[in-house]
Amino acid sequence: MYNNPMKKLLTKADCVLIKNPSNLFYFSKYQNQDAIIIFCGNKKYYLTDLRYLDEAEEVLTGFEIVDIKRDGIGTIKDILEKNKCKTLGIEDDIPLSFYNQLCNNLDFIELKDISGEIRSIRAIKNDEELEKISVAQKITDKTFIDLLGYIKEGVTERELKHILEDLIYKNGGEDTAFDTIVAFGAHTARPHAHITDQKLRKNQLIKLDFGAKYQGYCSDMTRTIAFGAPDNEQKEIYQTVLSAQMTALEYAKTGMAAKDLYHKANEYFIEKGLEKYFLHSLGHGVGVNVHETPTISPKSQDILKENMAITIEPGLYIAKKFGVRIEDMIVFKKERVINLTNSQKELIII
C-alpha cells in the first residue's frame, strides 16, 4: 500500500528518515510518537524503544523492527552505513537538537528536505483514506443533530463543548479532530474563539466548529445557529455567507487553481461590500491532520486534484457583535465534486 509513496520519496534521496508523528502514522498506520521510520531502497525500518517493541512487532508488517536503545543516533548511523546511504531525506519540522545530532554524526551524508514531497503525497487520498474521512464526517453530522437537544439557556460554552465531545465518542469517534470551538454571542466574531464560561442567553448566535477522528483520519465542520430570533443584520450576514459558500461549492472542479476558488467566494463578498470581514482562507486539506495541503487562499500555488479532500468555509466576522461561518468537506473526483457534509445549512433557530 505504501510502496508508491516510498518510491516517490526515494527519487529525492538514497534513504528517507521520518520522525513527525503524523507522518509516522501515515506511513505505518500505527500510532506511536516515539519512533523513527527509515526507508532505504526496498527496506523499511521501524525504530522504537522497549515500551513499544512488542506491540510494533505484532501490528506492523513489512517493517524491520529495531530497538533504538539508548544511542539512537548510533542506531540510525548503523542502518545508513549498512545501506551505503549518501543522501538522506528529512522533514523540515524535526527538532533542532535532533537536526544537530544528524549533522554532527552523519558528516558522510548530505541532508535533503523532502517535506514538500511528503505534503504532496499526503494531499492525494486513496480510497481507504477517503472512506475513513467519510465515516469521520458521518460521526460529525450525527453529533451535530444530537447536540441540538442540549442547547438550553444558561449552558456555558465550556459545558456545551464537553457535551459535544462526549457525543463524538458515543457516536463512534476515537477522538476529536482538533480543539473544539464553541462560541456564543460576540465571541462568534472571533474566528478561532477560545472556550470561556460565558452562559448562553436568548437572541445570541452560536458557532460550532468541530470534527471527529476515525481510525486516524479527521473531519471538520462548522455550523452557526441562532438561539432565539435573529435580528435582520444577523439573518442578512448568515444568508450572505451561505450564498458565498454555495457559489464556491458550485464553482469547485478538479484541476482548478485553489486561489481561483478562494477568489470566487471572496468576489461575492466584494459585491456586497463585506470583504473586509472575511478574515481567513476559504479552506484547507483534511486527512491525518485537520490542516493539510492544499491551502485555499489568495496566494496559494496549489492545484485541486482528484482525490483531494478539502473544506469550504467562508465566514464574516463583525468585531464585538457576531460572526458567521459555514463549513463543509468536499472530495474532488475526476468528473465531479462530492460533498461529504449532510448537516442542515439553512439557519437553524432554537
Burial of residue 332 (CB within 10 Å: 0-12, 13-18, 19+) is buried
Please state, in angstroms and rounded to a whole number, the distance separating the CA atoms of residues 322 and 220. Answer: 21
The answer to whether 310 and 299 are in contact (CB under 8 A) is: no
Pick the CATH number of 127-339 from 2.40.50.220, 3.30.565.10, 3.90.230.10, 3.40.50.360: 3.90.230.10
What is the pLDDT, as a whole number, of residue 184? 98
CB neighbour list of residue 42: distance below 8 Å, 6 or more residues apart: none
Per the confidence metrics, is the pTM higher than 0.85?
yes
Q: Give the chain's mean pLDDT.
A: 96
Task: Compute the CA torsion angle 332, 336, 341, 345 (nearest 10 deg).
Answer: 120
Segment 203-221, tens digit of pLDDT = 999 999 999 999 999 999 9
pLDDT-derived band of residue 5, with 50, 70 and 90 as boundaries? confident
Residue corresponding to grid cell 558522510? 108
CB neighbour list of residue 82: distance below 8 Å, 6 or more residues apart: none
Rounded percentage of the chain residues whose pLDDT exceeds 70: 99
Higher pLDDT, 143 or 2: 143
What DSSP character marks residue 154?
T
The amino acid occupying position 160 is L
The amino acid occupying position 246 is M
Higher pLDDT, 56 or 7: 56
Burial of residue 247 (CB within 10 Å: 0-12, 13-18, 19+) is middle
The answer to whether 245 and 258 are in contact (CB under 8 A) is: no
Element (H, E) at 265: helix 258-271
What is the pLDDT, as a whole number, of residue 3? 47
Angle CA(168)–CA(127)–CA(289) in degrees, nearest 5? Answer: 45
Residue corresponding to grid cell 478561532? 192
Segment 103-156, tens digit of pLDDT = 999 989 999 999 999 999 999 999 999 999 999 999 999 999 999 999 999 999
Task: Compute the CA torsion angle 128, 130, 134, 135 (nearest 10 deg).
Answer: 20
- How are beta strands 181-184 and 292-296 bridged, if at all? unpaired
What is the pLDDT, as a whole number, of residue 93? 94
Segment 176-205, tens digit of pLDDT = 999 999 999 999 999 999 999 999 999 999
Q: Which of 206, 159, 203, 153 is nearest to 183 (CA)?
A: 206
What is the pLDDT, as a whole number, of residue 8? 81
Locate CATH 3.40.350.10 in the chain.
3-123
Segment 240-267, tens digit of pLDDT = 999 999 999 999 999 999 999 999 999 9
Phi, then psi, of 332 in degrees rounded to 5: -90, 120
Nine cell digits for residue 252: 469547485
The amino acid occupying position 238 is Y
What is the pLDDT, as a whole number, of residue 71? 76
What are the residue ranges of helices labelled H in 93-231? 96-105, 115-123, 127-147, 157-170
Number of helical (H) and strand (E) elements in the chain, helices listed first = 10, 19
Domain 3-123, CATH class in plain words: alpha beta
Please state, in angstroms and rounded to a whole number, the distance separating the CA atoms of residues 137 and 92. Answer: 30
What is the pLDDT, as a whole number, of residue 186? 98
Taking the CB of residue 228, how many other CB atoms lie within 10 A of it? 13
The answer to whether 350 and 229 are in contact (CB under 8 A) is: no
Locate CATH 3.90.230.10 in the chain.
127-339
Segment 25-57, tens digit of pLDDT = 999 999 999 999 999 999 999 999 999 999 999
